[in-house]
C-alpha cells in the first residue's frame, strides 16, 4: 500500500538528512585537521514503485559519502614537498657555513691572513728586532688557529648532518610501516576492495603520511585496483601493498670520518634518494661541505708549503747545529717522488697512467693527487699492473680521477720536482759560508735521486753531517761546534717537503700550526739569505708571496676570496630557490584548500538546509501517521 | 625574500576555505615581520650587505677594497720608516760634507807660502780629529742599526786599523715595499761614499786588441752547469723542442735545471729520434749532437728553447756542434772549468793591502769552486771585497781599506795574470805613480811633443784614467806610436814615425812636471824609452782616504802630497753630495708615492662605503612604511578572522 511505503519514504528522508547533518558536523569538527578532505553526501532518489501507468518514488537513498580530493594535485604537492625538503636542508647548511666563515667581519680567516702579511712587512723593516719577529709568529699562530677552528667546525657539521641522515632513515621506516598498516586497514574497511574509495578518513591519513614521507625522501604513489597504495622512491618500492621495505645504513670511512649510507635492509634494490631531506642531507655531507673543506685544505696546504719553502731556504739570526726533518721516506732507496698524470679515465679506486707501463712496482708506496676534483687526496698503493700502468689503492676517491689530473708517488705531503738545493755550511767564527749544490734528479730518466742519495751528497759536502733515521726522517748535525748549517736556493722543493726548518707544521686546515721551535726561538725566523744580520731579503720574499699566484694560479688571498665568493653565490642561489619553492608549495596548498578545505560558513548553510530537510521529513512522517491513524481507527 | 602582498588569491577559483583564509593572513603577517627584521638589521649595523649571500658581487668588491686599503696603509707605514732612515742618513752625509769642506780649507791654507812645518803639524792634529768625527758619522745608528753597513747592520761598519780605516759592512741595498710591485731602496750604500776602491777589476792582460777590456773567464760547459747561468746569465727560456733524426719526437724540456738534464731528456728519446747528445763540442762550450741521419732541431709553437740552447738547425750533418752556451761565472763554477777548461794555475795570487804591508797568499786547490776562492780572499785579513764582476765574466777584487794600497802579484805562478788581476803599470792610475805622488800635473795640457815633421801634439794627463789610457791617446795621434815595454812592463816607449827634422822632443808644458815624472822627457831620433816607473796599488777614492792622506802629508811636511790629498777630497765631496742628492731624490719619490697611496685609500674607502653602507635615511623611511603596513595588516586580519556566519545564527 502506498501509505505504508510512504512511512518508509519519510524514514529515508530522515535518515539521509541525519547522515548529511552528521557529515556536516564531521566537516566542521575537522575544519583545521591537517590533511583532511571535506566530505560530501551524495544522494540519489530511490527506485520508484511501478504502478503501470505511473511511478511513485520511494524516497532518497544515500549513495555514498564522497571525499573531495584532487589526486593529481596531491601528487604535485608531494613532489613539491620533496623538492622543498631538499632545498631547505641545503640552504640552511650553506647559511651555517657562511655564518661560520663570517667573511665580512674583522676577525675572519681572510683578515688574519692579511694581518700575517702586514706583520711580515713590519718585520722586513726591522729584520733582527725580536718584537717584530714575535709579531709575525703571533699573527701566524692566530691564522693557524683560525684555520683549525673553521675546519673543525665544518667537520663537526658534517658529522651532525650524518647523524641527521641516520635519524631520517629511522623516521622513513616508521612512516612506511604505518602506511603499510593503513593499507591493511583500508582494505579491511573497504570490504576487501569491494567498496573502493569509502574509507575516507583512513585515506586522508594515508595521504598525509605519504606527504610526510615525501618530505623526507621524495616518493611517488600508485593506487592499486584494491585500494592499496604502493610507494616508490625512484623505481624501488618502499611499500608494496601491506609490505613495507625497511631502510638501514651501511657504514664506511670517508675522509677519516665514519659515514652512513642509506640502503635497503634486504639489499633487494638500490636506493636513490632523488628528493626530500635525505637527498639534501646526503648532498650537503658528500658535496657541499666536502668541497668547502677541500678548498680550505688546499689553502692551508699551499700556505704551509710556500711559507716552508721560503723559511727553509733563508737564514735566521742563527743557523742550526742539529736539525731533524718533520717527515720522512721509510724506504731510502726509492726515488723521492715520481710525478705523473692520469692518461685514461679511471674508476673510483684505480689510477691509469701510461707512463707507468713497465715501471718498477710501487706497491706499498703512497701517492698524493695534485689537481682536479680529488686534489690533496692521499692513498696507499695496494696493487700494480705494469702492462697497462694501473695503480690500485685502498679507499675510493670522492670522484673518479679524470684525464690530466697530476699526481706524485711519494710518502711526503708536498710535491717535489726535478731541481736542486744548496747546503750552506757556515763557519761561525770567520763568517764565511760555503754553498754546496745537492742535486735532486727526478726527471724519471735514468736513476732518480733517492733519500740515500741526498744523504750521501750532504755527507760528501760535510762529512758525518747527514743521517737517515729508522723512520725515514733526515737528521742533520754539524760535526763541530763552530760550524752551522742552513739551506738556500731550493728549486726542487725537497727541503720544505721533507720538513727541514719549517714555518708551519701540518698539511691541512685542521692540522696546520706554527712550528713550535720557532715559537720558542724567534731568532730562527729566516729574514736573511746570508749571515748578515741586517739582511732582509728573505723577509721581503715572504712579503712578495702575498701577490704570487701559488694556488691554482691565484694568490693566497685571491683564492680565499674565491672560496668566499663561491660560497656566497651558492648560498644566495640556494636561499632564493628554497624561497621560490616555498612559494610554489604555498600556491599548491592553497589550491588544495580550495578543493578540499572546509569553509565553515558553507557548512553552516548546509547545516540549515539539512536541518529543514529533517524537519520537513519529520512533518511528513507525522502527516502520514495521522492518515494511517484515520484509516486504522476510523473504520 | 618575497615582498609582502605577493598575490595568493588566484582568480580562477572562487572558493575560499577557512584554513586558506587563515594561511593567507598569517603568510602576509610573517612577511611583514621578516621585512621589518631585515630593516632593523641594517639600521643596527649600518650595513646593507651583512653576509656574502646578501649580495655576492658587492661583498666580493668589499673584501677586495678592504684588502687594498690595508695594503696601502702598510705601504705608507713602510714609506714612513724608509724616509726616516734616509733622512737620518742624509743628516750624517751633511755632517760628512762639512768635514770635507773643513779639510779642503786646511789643505788650501797649508800649501800657502805662509805655512811652515810647525803649522802643518798642528793642522795634522786637526785633520786627525776630523777623521775621528768622520768615522763616528759613518757609524751612525738608526733604531739600533748601523745605517751605512748595508745588510751587516749589527756590527760597526767603520773600524780604525792602525793608521787606516777599514770598511767592514757590505753594500747591499735595504729594500722596502712601497707600492704594489714597487720596491724602493731605503738605505744609502757606502760604495756611494767611496769606501771601496774602483779597482782591481779583472781585465784581459794579453797584449792585443782586447788589452785592458773586462776579462772573460769563459767557463766551459759541463753537465752540472745550471741553465740559469747560460747565455751570459740570461738563461734559457724553457719549452719543448722537436728533434728529428731517423725519426721525430717532441721533447718537453721544462723540468730541466742543468745542461745534464737537457742531455738526459734528449737522450731518453734517442730510440725514437736516432739523435743523441754524447758530449760537448770541441770548443767545450756547447752541446754536440750525433745521428746517422741528418739532424733537425726545431722550435715547438712560438718557443725559443732550441735557439737559446744553440741547437736550432735544419738538416745538419752529424756530428753537429751546437752554439756557444756562454755560461756566466757563478759561485758554483769549478775553477777547473774556467778559461775554456784550462783552469787556473794553482800557485795562486799574493795580495798586499795596508799601510804596513800585510799580505796574503791565496792558493787555488783543484776541485774547488770560484766561491771557495772568493771566500778565501774575503775572510783573509787583507780588507778586500772579492766578488764576481757585474758582467758575470770575471772576478773583481776591491779594497776596503781607506789609507791602504791594494796590489795583487803572482804567487810564483801565473794565476794573477790569468784572472786579469795582476797589478800592472798599464792600468795604474796616473796619481798612483811614483809612490802615490803622481806626476805633478798642471791644470790643462801637461805634455808637448814636437814631431820631426814639425807638427806639435799636446796631452792632458788629467784626462787619462790610467797610464794605458794616456799611452793610447799618444798612440792614436798621427805619426806617433806608444806602448808600455820593459821587463817589468813599467816603461813607456814613444816612437816618432814622421820624417823631417833629425829628432823629436817631448817636454813639460804649462808648468807641469808630467813628462819628467813619466820618464819620457827628452829628445831622440826615433824612439824615446822612458825610465822605469813605480806605482802604488789602488785605493778607495773617498773622504776617509782623503782625510788620511791629508793628515799623513801634513805630518810629512809634503806639499805635493797635500795637493794630491786636496784633489782626493774634491772627488770625495762630489761623491758625498751625489749620495745626498740620491737619497733626497729617493725620499721625494717615496713621498710622492705616499701621497698617491693616501689619495687612493680615500677613494677606496668611499667606494667601499658605497657598496656596503646602508643609506640610513632611506632605510629609516622604509622602516616607517613597513611599520604602518604591519599595523594595517594586523587590523584587517583581526576583522577577517572574526567574521563568520555563526555569529548570526
Q: Using an 8 Å Cβ cutoff, are B274 and B247 in contact? A: yes
Residues of chain A found within 8 Å of residue B27, distances taken between Cβ atoms: 586
| Residue B600: exposure state from Cβ atoms within 10 A (0-12, 13-18, ≥19) | middle
How close B191 comes to chain A (CA, Å)? 17
- Section B604-611 average pLDDT: 92
Strand-pairing partners, residue A240, are A243
Residue A58 CB contacts under 8 Å (≥ 6 apart), including other chains: A5, A8, A9, A12, A46, A47, A48, A49
Residue A604 to residue B6, Cβ atoms within 8 A? no
Q: How far is CA B567 from CA A440, A518, B65, in A?
A: 56, 54, 57
Residue B467 and residue B530: Cα distance in Å, rounded?
13
How would residue B639 be classed by pLDDT, with cut points 50, 70 and 90?
confident
- Section A20-46 average pLDDT: 92
Residue B175 to residue A536, Cβ atoms within 8 A? yes
- Predicted pLDDT at B8: 47
Strand-pairing partners, residue A366, are A380
Residue A368 CB contacts under 8 Å (≥ 6 apart), including other chains: A376, A377, A378, A407, A408, A410, A413, A415
Closest by CA to B170, choosing from B145, B196, B144, B197, is B196
How would residue B592 be classed by pLDDT, with cut points 50, 70 and 90?
very high
- Predicted pLDDT at B10: 46
Residues of chain B found within 8 Å of residue A579, distances taken between Cβ atoms: 1-2
Share of chain A above pLDDT 70, in %: 100
- Other Cβ atoms less than 10 A from the Cβ of A398: the count is 15
Instruction: Quote the DSSP letter at residue A303.
Output: H
Q: Is the pLDDT of residue A526 over 90?
A: yes
B358-365, long-range: CB within 8 Å, 24+ apart, which pairs? B358/B382, B361/B411, B362/B411, B363/B411, B364/B335, B364/B415, B365/B335
- Section B53-68 average pLDDT: 88
How would residue B644 be classed by pLDDT, with cut points 50, 70 and 90?
confident
Q: CA angle at residue A409 from A403 to A412, to 5 degrees?
A: 125
Residue B183 to residue A540, Cβ atoms within 8 A? yes
**What residues 387-426 of chain A have any CB closer than 8 A to a CB of chain B?**
417-420
Residue B257 to residue A446, Cβ atoms within 8 A? no
| Residue A479: exposure state from Cβ atoms within 10 A (0-12, 13-18, ≥19) | exposed
Closest by CA to A205, choosing from A217, A194, A213, is A213
- Predicted pLDDT at B405: 86
- At B626, is the secondary structure helix, strand, or coil? helix
Residue B151 to residue A443, Cβ atoms within 8 A? no
Q: Which of A51-60, B143-152, B426-435 has the lowest mean pLDDT?
A: B426-435
- Predicted pLDDT at B3: 54
State chain A's mean pLDDT as an integer.
92
Q: How far is CA A273 from CA A94, A162, A166, B35, in A?
A: 20, 15, 14, 35
Strand-pairing partners, residue A421, are A438
Strand-pairing partners, residue B527, are B495
- Nearest Cα residue in chain A from B261: A443
Q: What is the ipTM of this complex?
A: 0.83
Residue A438 and residue A435: Cα distance in Å, rounded?
10
Q: Angle, to 10 degrees, between the axis of helix B56-110 and the axis of helix B559-612?
A: 170
Residue A591 and residue A72: Cα distance in Å, rounded?
12
In this structure, chain B runs to a length of 649
- At A158, is the secondary structure helix, strand, or coil? helix
* Total beta-carbon pairs less than 8 A apart between chain A and chain B: 212
Residues of chain A found within 8 Å of residue B261, distances taken between Cβ atoms: 418, 441, 443
Residues B75-106 pLDDT 10s: 999 999 999 999 999 999 999 999 999 999 99
Q: Is the pLDDT of residue B5 over 70?
A: no
Residue B20 to residue A540, Cβ atoms within 8 A? no
Q: Which of A401-415, B235-249, B347-361, B500-514 has the lowest mean pLDDT?
A: B347-361
Handedness of CA B314, B318, B324, B328 (dihedral sign): positive
State chain B's mean pLDDT as an integer.
87
Q: Is the pLDDT of residue B332 over 50?
A: yes
- Section A291-301 average pLDDT: 94
Residue B379 to residue A435, Cβ atoms within 8 A? no
Share of chain B above pLDDT 90, in %: 38
- Cα of A50 vs its chain's centroid, Å: 74
Residues B421-431 pLDDT 10s: 888 877 777 87
Q: Using an 8 Å Cβ cutoff, are A590 and B8 in contact? A: yes
- Nearest Cα residue in chain A from B377: A432
Residue B588 CB contacts under 8 Å (≥ 6 apart), including other chains: none
Closest by CA to A610, choosing from A114, A3, A15, is A15
Q: Is the pLDDT of residue B4 over 60?
A: no
Residue A337 and residue B255: Cα distance in Å, rounded?
14
Q: Is the pLDDT of residue B436 over 80?
A: no
- Section A49-60 average pLDDT: 86
Residue B143 and residue B149: Cα distance in Å, rounded?
14
Residues of chain B found within 8 Å of residue A124, distances taken between Cβ atoms: 78, 176-177
Residue A122 and residue A289: Cα distance in Å, rounded?
37
- Set of cell numbers at residue B233: 746569465
More confident residue, A390 or B209: A390
- Other Cβ atoms less than 10 A from the Cβ of B55: the count is 18
Best of A583, A590, A600 to mutate (most B CBs within 10 Å, chain B): A590
How would residue B517 be classed by pLDDT, with cut points 50, 70 and 90?
confident
Q: Dmax of chain A from CA atoms?
A: 151
Any idea which fold A338-409 has? Thrombin, subunit H (2.40.10)
Q: Does A360 touch chain B (CB under 8 A)?
A: no
Q: Is the pLDDT of residue A148 over 60?
A: yes
Handedness of CA A232, A235, A241, A246 (dihedral sign): negative
- Predicted pLDDT at A475: 96
Q: What kind and span of H or E run contains A619?
A: helix A600-634
Share of chain B above pLDDT 70, in %: 96
Residue A35 and residue A81: Cα distance in Å, rounded?
14
Residue B191 and residue B387: Cα distance in Å, rounded?
14
How would residue B140 be classed by pLDDT, with cut points 50, 70 and 90?
very high
Residue B649 and residue B643: Cα distance in Å, rounded?
12
More confident residue, A346 or B550: B550
How would residue B6 be classed by pLDDT, with cut points 50, 70 and 90?
low
Residues of chain A found within 8 Å of residue B17, distances taken between Cβ atoms: 593-594, 596-599
pTM of the model: 0.87
Residues B460-497 pLDDT 10s: 888 887 788 888 888 888 888 988 887 767 888 899 98
- Predicted pLDDT at B9: 46
- Predicted pLDDT at A520: 95
Residues of chain A found within 8 Å of residue B56, distances taken between Cβ atoms: 565, 568-569, 572
Q: Is the pLDDT of residue B607 over 80?
A: yes
Secondary structure E strands in B309-405: 313-316, 320-321, 349-353, 359-362, 384-388, 395-399, 401-402
- At B523, is the secondary structure helix, strand, or coil? strand
Residue B47 and residue B45: Cα distance in Å, rounded?
5
- Predicted pLDDT at B12: 52
Q: Is the pLDDT of residue B13 over 60?
A: no
Residues A388-442 pLDDT 10s: 899 999 888 888 899 999 999 999 999 999 999 999 999 998 888 999 999 999 9
Residue A532 to residue B151, Cβ atoms within 8 A? yes
Residues of chain B found within 8 Å of residue A595, distances taken between Cβ atoms: 15
Residue B545 and residue B567: Cα distance in Å, rounded?
11
Residues of chain A found within 8 Å of residue B63, distances taken between Cβ atoms: 103-104, 110, 561, 564
Domains of chain B are 65-196+542-600 (1.20.1330.10), 227-321 (3.30.70), 335-423 (no CATH), 436-529 (no CATH)
Q: Is the pLDDT of residue A1 over 70?
A: no
How close B2 comes to chain A (CA, Å)? 8
How close A532 comes to chain B (CA, Å)? 5
- Nearest Cα residue in chain B from A37: B17
Instruction: Quote the DSSP letter at residue B531.
Output: P
- Nearest Cα residue in chain A from B22: A32
- Predicted pLDDT at B355: 60
- Predicted pLDDT at A297: 95
Residues of chain B found within 8 Å of residue A114, distances taken between Cβ atoms: 67, 70
Residue B626 and residue B31: Cα distance in Å, rounded?
10
Q: CA angle at residue A282 from A276 to A283, to 5 degrees?
A: 90
Residue B18 to residue A597, Cβ atoms within 8 A? yes
Residues of chain A found within 8 Å of residue B152, distances taken between Cβ atoms: 532-534
- Cα of A436 vs its chain's centroid, Å: 51
Which ranges of B476-558 would DSSP assign to H, the alpha helix? 514-517, 543-555
- Section A205-215 average pLDDT: 95
Q: Does A63 touch chain B (CB under 8 A)?
A: no
Residues of chain B found within 8 Å of residue A559, distances taken between Cβ atoms: none
- Nearest Cα residue in chain A from B147: A534
More confident residue, A500 or B560: A500
- Predicted pLDDT at B358: 58
- Predicted pLDDT at B93: 94
Closest by CA to B157, choosing from B135, B174, B129, is B135
- Nearest Cα residue in chain B from A534: B151
Best of B266, B645, B646, B647 to mutate (most A CBs within 10 Å, chain A): B645
Burial of B570-582, coded b for 16+ CB within 10 Å and e otherwise, reads eebbebbeebbeb
Residue B20 to residue A536, Cβ atoms within 8 A? no
Dihedral of CA atoms A136, A138, A143, A148 in degrees, nearest 10, equals 140
- Predicted pLDDT at A529: 93
- Nearest Cα residue in chain B from A587: B8
- Predicted pLDDT at B1: 42
- Predicted pLDDT at B57: 87
- Set of cell numbers at residue A423: 747546503
Q: Is the pLDDT of residue B378 over 90?
A: no
Instruction: Quote the DSSP letter at residue A126.
Output: S
Amino acid at each position: 500500500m502506498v501509505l505504508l511505503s510512504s512511512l518508509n519514504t519519510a524514514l529515508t528522508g530522515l535518515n539521509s538528512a541525519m547522515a548529511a547533518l552528521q557529515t556536516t558536523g564531521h566537516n566542521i569538527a575537522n575544519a583545521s585537521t591537517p590533511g583532511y578532505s571535506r566530505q560530501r553526501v551524495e544522494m540519489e532518489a530511490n527506485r520508484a514503485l511501478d504502478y503501470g501507468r505511473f511511478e511513485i518514488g520511494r524516497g532518497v537513498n544515500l549513495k555514498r559519502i564522497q571525499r573531495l580530493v584532487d589526486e593529481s594535485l596531491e601528487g604535485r604537492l608531494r613532489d613539491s614537498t620533496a623538492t622543498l625538503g631538499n632545498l631547505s636542508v641545503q640552504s640552511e647548511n650553506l647559511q651555517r657555513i657562511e655564518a661560520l666563515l663570517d667573511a665580512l667581519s674583522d676577525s675572519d680567516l681572510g683578515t688574519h691572513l692579511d694581518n700575517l702579511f702586514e706583520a711580515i712587512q713590519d718585520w722586513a723593516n726591522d729584520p733582527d728586532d725580536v718584537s717584530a719577529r714575535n709579531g709575525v709568529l703571533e699573527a701566524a699562530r692566530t691564522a693557524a688557529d683560525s684555520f683549525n677552528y673553521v675546519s673543525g667546525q665544518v667537520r663537526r657539521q658534517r658529522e651532525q648532518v650524518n647523524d641527521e641522515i641516520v635519524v631520517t632513515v629511522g623516521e622513513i621506516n616508521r612512516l612506511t610501516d604505518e602506511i603499510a598498516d593503513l593499507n591493511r586497514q583500508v582494505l579491511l574497511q573497504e570490504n576487501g576492495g569491494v567498496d573502493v574509495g569509502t574509507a575516507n578518513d583512513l585515506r586522508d591519513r594515508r595521504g598525509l603520511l605519504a606527504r610526510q614521507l615525501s618530505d623526507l625522501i621524495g616518493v611517488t604513489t600508485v593506487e592499486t585496483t584494491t585500494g592499496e597504495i604502493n610507494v616508490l622512491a625512484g623505481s624501488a618500492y618502499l611499500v608494496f601493498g601491506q609490505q613495507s621495505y625497511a631502510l638501514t645504513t651501511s657504514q664506511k670511512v670517508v675522509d677519516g670520518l665514519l659515514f652512513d649510507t642509506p640502503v635497503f635492509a634486504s639489499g633487494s634494490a638500490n636506493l636513490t634518494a632523488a628528493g626530500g631531506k635525505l637527498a639534501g642531507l646526503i648532498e650537503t655531507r658528500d658535496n657541499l661541505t666536502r668541497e668547502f673543506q677541500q678548498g680550505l685544505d688546499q689553502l692551508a696546504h699551499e700556505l704551509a708549503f710556500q711559507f716552508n719553502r721560503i723559511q727553509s731556504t733563508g737564514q735566521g739570526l742563527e743557523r742550526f747545529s742539529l736539525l731533524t726533518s718533520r717527515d720522512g721516506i721509510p724506504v731510502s732507496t726509492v726515488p723521492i717522488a715520481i710525478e705523473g698524470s692520469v692518461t685514461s679515465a679511471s674508476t673510483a679506486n684505480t689510477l691509469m697512467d701510461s707512463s707507468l707501463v713497465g715501471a718498477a712496482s710501487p706497491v706499498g708506496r703512497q701517492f698524493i693527487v695534485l689537481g682536479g676534483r680529488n686534489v690533496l687526496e692521499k692513498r696507499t698503493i695496494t696493487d700494480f699492473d705494469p702492462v697497462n700502468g694501473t695503480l690500485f689503492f685502498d679507499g675510493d676517491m670522492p670522484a673518479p680521477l679524470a684525464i690530466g689530473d697530476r699526481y706524485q708517488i711519494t710518502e711526503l705531503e708536498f710535491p717535489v720536482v726535478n731541481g736542486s738545493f744548496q747546503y750552506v755550511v757556515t763557519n761561525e767564527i770567520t763568517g764565511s759560508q760555503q754553498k754546496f749544490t745537492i742535486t735532486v734528479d727526478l726527471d724519471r730518466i735514468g736513476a732518480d735521486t733517492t733519500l740515500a742519495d741526498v744523504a750521501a751528497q750532504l755527507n760528501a759536502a760535510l762529512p758525518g753531517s747527514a743521517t737517515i733515521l729508522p723512520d725515514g726522517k733526515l737528521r742533520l748535525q754539524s760535526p763541530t761546534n763552530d760550524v752551522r748549517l742552513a739551506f738556500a736556493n731550493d728549486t726542487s722543493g725537497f727541503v720544505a717537503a721533507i720538513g727541514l726548518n719549517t714555518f708551519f707544521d701540518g698539511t691541512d686546515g685542521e692540522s696546520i700550526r706554527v712550528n713550535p721551535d720557532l715559537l720558542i726561538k724567534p731568532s730562527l725566523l729566516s729574514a736573511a739569505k746570508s749571515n748578515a744580520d741586517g739582511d732582509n731579503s728573505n723577509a721581503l720574499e715572504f712579503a712578495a708571496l702575498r701577490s704570487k699566484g701559488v694556488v691554482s694560479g691565484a694568490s693566497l688571498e685571491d683564492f680565499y676570496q674565491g672560496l668566499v665568493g663561491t660560497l656566497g653565490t651558492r648560498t644566495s642561489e640556494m636561499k632564493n630557490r628554497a624561497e621560490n619553492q616555498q612559494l610554489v608549495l604555498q600556491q599548491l596548498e592553497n589550491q588544495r584548500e580550495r578543493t578540499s578545505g572546509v569553509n565553515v560558513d558553507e557548512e553552516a548553510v548546509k547545516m540549515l538546509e539539512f536541518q529543514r530537510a529533517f524537519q520537513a521529513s519529520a512533518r511528513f512522517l507525522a502527516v502520514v501517521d495521522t492518515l494511517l491513524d484515520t484509516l486504522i481507527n476510523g473504520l | 625574500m618575497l615582498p609582502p602582498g605577493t598575490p595568493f588569491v588566484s582568480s580562477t577559483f572562487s572558493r575560499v576555505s577557512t584554513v586558506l583564509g587563515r594561511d593567507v593572513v598569517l603568510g602576509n603577517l610573517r612577511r611583514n615581520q621578516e621585512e621589518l627584521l631585515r630593516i632593523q638589521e641594517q639600521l643596527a649595523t649600518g650595513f646593507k650587505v651583512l653576509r656574502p649571500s646578501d649580495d655576492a658581487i658587492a661583498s666580493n668588491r668589499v673584501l677586495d677594497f678592504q684588502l687594498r686599503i690595508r695594503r696601502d696603509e702598510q705601504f705608507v707605514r713602510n714609506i714612513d720608516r724608509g724616509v726616516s732612515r734616509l733622512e737620518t742618513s742624509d743628516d750624517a752625509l751633511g755632517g760628512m760634507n762639512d768635514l770635507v769642506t773643513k779639510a779642503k780649507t786646511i789643505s788650501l791654507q797649508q800649501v800657502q807660502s805662509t805655512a811652515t812645518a810647525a803649522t802643518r803639524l798642528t793642522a795634522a792634529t786637526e785633520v786627525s780629529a776630523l777623521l775621528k768625527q768622520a768615522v763616528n758619522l759613518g757609524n751612525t745608528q738608526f733604531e739600533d742599526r748601523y745605517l751605512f753597513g748595508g745588510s751587516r747592520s749589527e756590527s760597526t761598519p767603520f773600524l780604525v786599523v792602525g793608521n787606516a780605516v777599514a770598511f767592514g759592512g757590505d753594500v747591499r741595498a735595504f729594500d722596502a715595499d712601497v707600492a704594489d710591485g714597487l720596491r724602493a731602496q731605503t738605505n744609502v750604500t757606502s760604495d756611494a761614499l767611496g769606501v771601496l776602491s774602483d779597482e782591481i777589476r779583472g781585465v784581459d792582460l794579453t797584449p792585443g786588441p782586447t788589452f785592458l777590456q773586462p776579462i772573460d773567464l769563459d767557463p766551459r760547459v759541463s753537465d752540472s752547469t745550471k741553465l740559469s747561468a747560460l747565455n751570459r746569465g740570461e738563461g734559457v727560456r724553457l719549452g719543448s723542442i722537436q728533434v728529428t733524426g731517423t725519426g721525430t719526437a717532441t721533447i718537453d724540456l721544462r723540468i730541466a735545471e742543468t745542461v745534464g738534464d737537457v742531455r738526459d731528456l734528449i737522450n731518453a728519446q734517442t730510440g725514437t729520434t736516432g739523435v743523441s747528445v754524447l758530449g760537448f763540442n770541441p770548443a767545450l762550450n756547447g752541446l754536440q749532437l750525433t745521428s746517422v741521419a741528418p739532424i733537425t732541431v726545431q722550435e715547438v709553437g712560438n718557443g725559443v728553447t732550441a735557439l737559446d740552447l744553440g741547437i736550432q738547425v735544419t738538416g745538419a750533418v752529424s756530428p753537429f756542434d751546437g752554439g756557444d752556451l756562454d755560461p756566466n761565472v757563478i759561485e758554483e763554477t769549478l775553477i777547473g772549468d774556467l778559461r775554456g777548461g784550462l783552469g787556473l794555475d794553482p800557485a795562486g795570487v799574493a795580495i798586499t793591502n795596508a799601510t804596513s804591508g800585510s799580505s796574503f797568499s791565496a792558493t787555488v786547490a783543484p776541485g774547488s769552486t770560484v766561491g771557495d776562492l772568493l771566500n778565501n780572499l774575503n775572510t783573509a785579513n787583507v780588507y778586500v771585497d772579492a766578488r764576481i764582476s757585474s758582467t758575470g765574466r770575471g772576478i773583481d777584487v776591491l779594497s776596503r781599506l781607506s789609507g791602504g794600497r791594494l796590489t795583487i802579484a803572482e804567487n810564483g805562478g801565473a794565476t794573477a795574470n790569468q784572472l786579469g788581476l795582476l797589478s800592472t803599470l798599464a792600468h795604474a792610475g796616473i796619481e798612483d805613480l811614483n809612490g802615490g805622488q803622481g806626476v805633478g800635473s798642471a791644470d790643462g795640457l801637461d805634455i808637448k811633443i814636437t814631431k820631426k815633421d814639425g807638427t806639435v801634439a799636446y796631452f792632458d794627463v788629467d784626462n787619462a784614467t790610467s797610464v794605458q789610457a794616456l799611452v793610447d791617446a799618444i798612440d792614436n795621434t798621427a805619426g806617433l806610436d806608444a806602448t808600455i815595454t820593459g821587463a817589468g812592463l813599467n816603461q813607456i816607449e814613444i816612437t816618432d814615425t814622421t820624417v823631417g827634422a833629425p829628432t823629436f822632443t817631448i817636454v813639460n808644458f804649462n808648468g807641469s812636471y808630467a813628462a819628467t815624472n813619466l820618464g819620457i822627457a827628452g829628445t831622440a831620433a826615433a824612439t824615446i824609452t822612458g825610465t822605469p816607473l813605480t806605482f802604488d796599488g789602488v785605493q778607495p777614492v773617498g773622504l776617509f782616504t782623503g782625510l788620511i792622506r791629508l793628515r799623513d802629508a801634513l805630518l810629512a811636511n809634503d806639499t805635493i802630497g797635500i795637493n794630491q790629498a786636496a784633489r782626493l777630497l774634491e772627488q770625495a765631496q762630489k761623491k758625498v753630495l751625489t749620495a745626498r742628492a740620491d737619497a733626497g731624490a729617493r725620499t721625494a719619490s717615496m713621498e710622492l708615492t705616499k701621497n698617491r697611496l693616501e689619495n687612493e685609500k680615500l677613494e677606496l674607502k668611499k667606494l667601499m662605503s658605497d657598496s656596503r653602507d646602508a643609506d640610513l635615511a632611506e632605510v629609516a623611511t622604509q622602516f616607517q612604511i613597513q611599520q604602518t603596513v604591519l599595523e594595517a595588516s594586523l587590523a584587517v586580519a583581526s576583522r577577517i578572522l572574526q567574521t563568520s556566519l555563526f555569529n548570526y545564527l
